[in-house]
Amino acid sequence: MTKAEKRPVLTDVALAAGVSVATASKALNGRNHVNKNTRQRVLDAAEKLKFSPNPFAQALNFPVTGTIGVLTADLSSRFVLPILMGVEEAFGAGSTSVIISDARKDLVRERFLLQTLIAKRVDGIIVLGDDANARPSLSEHVPVPVVYAYTPSVLATDCSFTPDNAMGATLAIDHLVARGRRKIAMINGEPRFEAAQERSSAAHAALQSHGLGFVSGEVLYGDWSESWGRQGVRALLNARLDFDGIFCGSDQIARGVVDALREEGRSVPHDVGVVGFDDWELFSTTSRPPLTTIDMNLEHMGRAVAGELAVAIAGVTRPGLHKLPVRLVPRESTAGLDGSLANREDAAGGPLKA
Amino acid sequence: MTKAEKRPVLTDVALAAGVSVATASKALNGRNHVNKNTRQRVLDAAEKLKFSPNPFAQALNFPVTGTIGVLTADLSSRFVLPILMGVEEAFGAGSTSVIISDARKDLVRERFLLQTLIAKRVDGIIVLGDDANARPSLSEHVPVPVVYAYTPSVLATDCSFTPDNAMGATLAIDHLVARGRRKIAMINGEPRFEAAQERSSAAHAALQSHGLGFVSGEVLYGDWSESWGRQGVRALLNARLDFDGIFCGSDQIARGVVDALREEGRSVPHDVGVVGFDDWELFSTTSRPPLTTIDMNLEHMGRAVAGELAVAIAGVTRPGLHKLPVRLVPRESTAGLDGSLANREDAAGGPLKA
DNA sequence: CTGAAAGCGCTAACAA
DNA sequence: TTGTTAGCGCTTTCAG
How long is the CA B229 to C1' D12 vector, in angstroms? 67
**Which domain covers residue A241, as residue numbers?**
165-292+330-334
Chain C nucleotides with an atom closer than 7 Å to a protein C-beta: 1-5, 7-13
In this complex, the answer to whether residue B15 has its CB under 7 A from any atom of chain C, a nucleic strand, is no
Of B1, B85, B93, the CB nearest to A146: B1
Protein-to-nucleotide distance from the CA of A334 to the C1' of C5, whole angstroms:
74
The enclosing domain of B44 has a CATH number of 1.10.260.40
Q: Is residue A144 part of a domain?
A: yes
Q: What is the pLDDT of residue A349?
A: 33
B354 found inside a domain: no
Q: Do A82 and A101 reside in the same domain of the chain? A: yes
Q: Rounded distance, CA A350 to CA A112, Å?
A: 41
Q: Do B173 and B272 belong together in one domain?
A: yes
Taking CB atoms and an 8 Å limit, are A144 and B1 in contact across chains? yes
pTM: 0.91
pLDDT of residue B93: 77
Tell me which of A25-34, A39-48, A248-257 is least confident.
Answer: A25-34
User: What is the model's pLDDT at position B97?
Assistant: 92
**Average pLDDT over chain A, rounded to an integer:** 91
B209/chain A closest Cα distance in angstroms: 37
- A122 and A141 in a common domain: yes
* Same structural domain, A79 and A97: yes
Q: Which of A7, A60, A143 sits opposite B4 (nearest CB)?
A: A143
Could you read off the pLDDT of A57-77 as tens digits, one per residue? 999 998 889 999 999 999 999
Residue B350 maps to a domain? no
Q: Which nucleotide's C1' sits nearest to the alpha carbon of A33?
A: C1
Which tens digit of pLDDT belongs to each residue from B82-139?
A: 999 999 999 987 889 999 999 999 999 999 999 999 999 999 999 999 999 999 999 9
Task: Decide if pLDDT at B235 tops 80.
Answer: yes
Chain A residues in contact with B2 by the CB 8 A cut-off are 139-140, 142-143
Summarised one tens digit per residue, pLDDT across range B279-304 is 999 999 999 999 999 999 999 999 99
- Residue B341 resides in a domain: no
User: Average pLDDT of chain B?
Assistant: 91
Q: CA–C1' distance B11–C7 (Å)?
A: 14
B348 pLDDT tier (thresholds 50, 70, 90): very low
User: Which CATH number fits the domain that encloses residue A151?
Assistant: 3.40.50.2300
Specify whether B186 is located in the same domain as B39: no
B11 touches strand C (CB under 7 A): yes
- For chain A, how many structural domains are there in total? 3
